[in-house]
A and B are shown apart, each in its own frame.
Chain A
Amino acid sequence: MGAIFIKLDGSMPDLKEFLKQIISLPGLSGHEGPVREVIAEAWKPLVDELSVSKLGSLHAFKHGQAIAPRPKILLAAHMDAIGLMVTRVTPEGFLYFTEVGGVDPRILPAQAVTVHARRDLPGVIGQPPDRLLPPHLRGKPVPMSHLVVDVGLPPEEVQALVRVGDLISFATEPLELGEDLIAGHTLDDRAAVAAVTTCLEELKAVNHAWDVIAVATVQEEETLGGGLTSPFEIRPDIAVAIDVTFAKGPGVNDYRGRGLGKGVSLGWGPNTHPAIFESFKELADRLDLPYEVEVYPRYSGTDAMGMQIVAEGIPTMVLSIPLRYMHTPVEVVSMKDIRRTGRLLAQFIAGLTPEFIQKIRWEEENS
């Protein structure tokens, strides 16, 4: 097994640029088309075959070298973003909206947004003055139902351009905080898409026995739709969800937070198959890759929840990238952690022998 660890500088020189590019593309849950196209372009040279699922997930197949039939490993990173959706256009040209995915209304006032109407319109989320709010709300955080999006255009133009159901993305530009950190929206979960990309890059020059299917899933933020449907088509032997997790920082200071920039998070709990967990842990130790263990007593809140119970069941694992301020337009991740995740995945895949299937059977559990 040791022979396949080809030493590579696994980092893509332009990984940071790629990440900044994809987080700026529209692709709210259920409408991931625009970002899917760019991810497909990036993955095309790294794999053998690309296809799109019925719900719009991107499937990228890279064949292994073992004799067919080969076991399959599925890597899932969700490409959908959270955001907002227009529910009403008022006669004055203001837009009322609802959320797509989980959004804390307190981060909304004065946010820059883009309304994807008949054409893209820059806008701002306006908080009405207290005197225009019901008495019991004055001085308090304004619920989403009372906030508006103002696109600054005359009412007739707004009526002509914007419709109920139009999507609204956050428009915050990505920021580099020092050398290593990136701040922006939709790093949940496109940071993981970047991690999978760097994994595929590393696998270009590596022999691996198993087939690898990288999936950029859809609708994780709303229905886990991609995680529930792609594995039904692909029928992998193992599925790994790569997501983000809470990093310690303001508002997160107990066991549920991981160190930002301190390594990959390995998930432990009912959504994780213990033998796969142990393999990842041993490998990280051997590679001297920093990592932390994250426990989730019941649910991981990732695509693994859906993938694990597809058809006859799939052994699953959760890898997470620590991230601050989740579900705000100023999420923060460490590029180092993204690269470490990609590297750990690539080395794990490189080390997979066809016999690994036996290793993850429950009866053989030794401990």
Chain B
Amino acid sequence: METTIAAIATAPGIGGVGIIRLSGPQALALGKAVFQPAKPNFFARLQTNHLYYGYAVRPINRTVIDETLFVYMQGPRSFTGEDVVELQTHGGYLVLQSILEELYALGARPADPGEYSKRAFLNGRLDLTQAEAIIDIIEANSKAGLDAAVAQLQGKLKIELTGINQKLLRILSYWEAALDFPEDEITDYQVKDARTEILASMAQLQELLRTYQKGKILREGLSLAIIGKPNVGKSSLLNALLGENRAIVTSIPGTTRDTIEEWYNLDGFALKIIDSAGIHNTLDQVERLGVEKSLELFQRADLVCAVFDTSTPMTKDDDDILLLLTKTTKPVILVANKVDKTSNWQPKAEFLSVSAKNGTGLVDLLAEIKDRILLQTVAPINTPLLTRARHVELLQRAYLHLEDLNQALEILPLDFLTIDLRSAWQAIGEVTGDALTDNLLDKIFKEFCLGK
């Protein structure tokens, strides 16, 4: 860890603040080289974990790049366990990039993906759940997501799981004692009591597992698919929604050639709107492609907004889409567009009437979307959330072991019962980082690719 690394610590394009983070033995020297404190004596009495106001400057001629706050966090009591300096600027890709270039010229090395978290983990500053929560923070591009990540970092998940494991350990210790001390007076742990505890632990695990979907939404944002046959006004609806709100953060081409994904900040929730606005079909293929595309988008989305055109009669494609929607458990909002035009439309379900053209009903639509999001992400702050696939896998394994145990309780002898109990206990311990396997490490290091 002898090199000093530097990178932009904030997610691209989001928010009014851009942070550059330096970590390593040269962090302070390099940080000072690109910073001009507002008061010259700031550095003379530099303290760890204090904010200093000043300017990011070019070292060669001390010209100002941007207004900047300077924080020094002395190792090992920093996030990576090394000396860390953060430069907080007004953001903007060009500003951040210029500062970084100066730092690289001075000898800092660009950070590998996930290298900060990796250093923190390797320096023993983080346990596994914490390390992963850090990645979540790096990734979190919405406020609620950040809160969930912070809560997990503070150990809410860990506390919850430790609580379960203490219960399991208690039973295990009774049983193990009975096995190793058959001639001693060990009060038998009543199988009845064990069952109660095991069922309670299973319920707790299940509750946690249910939070995964919520956690995922908070972490990755929620994706909203706008579907519908061509020419019902999907793209105008998208433009109208985005046009209503200046919080558009970035626009990147989607994973498929024919879709566009737009990030949208809806009162702190990251909403990813996927639409097929980019589709330009040849005329003879229009109908078929439209339905296929709708289907595909539908699969990928957390929330579906199905758009219909009230100015023309419903077609078989509309019916197909409606049929599809009745079969899903995904939250669906039905939108009747073009209410500005005259209509002889006979609605077959409850529609939200909007006009993408003149803005009618857009506020209601946004409120409806927000309600649907809230339904899926209730109380993110005060409950532990599962946000990682690895945790889900381990806790599912623990759950299955407890299920097996519950079934075996009055049938198999005690030593078999301990096998499942112990395995459940270990699986939960792995989430909190108390156990280690080769596989686990492989997965962790794969996970680190995500953050910066």
Q: Do A and B bind each other?
A: no
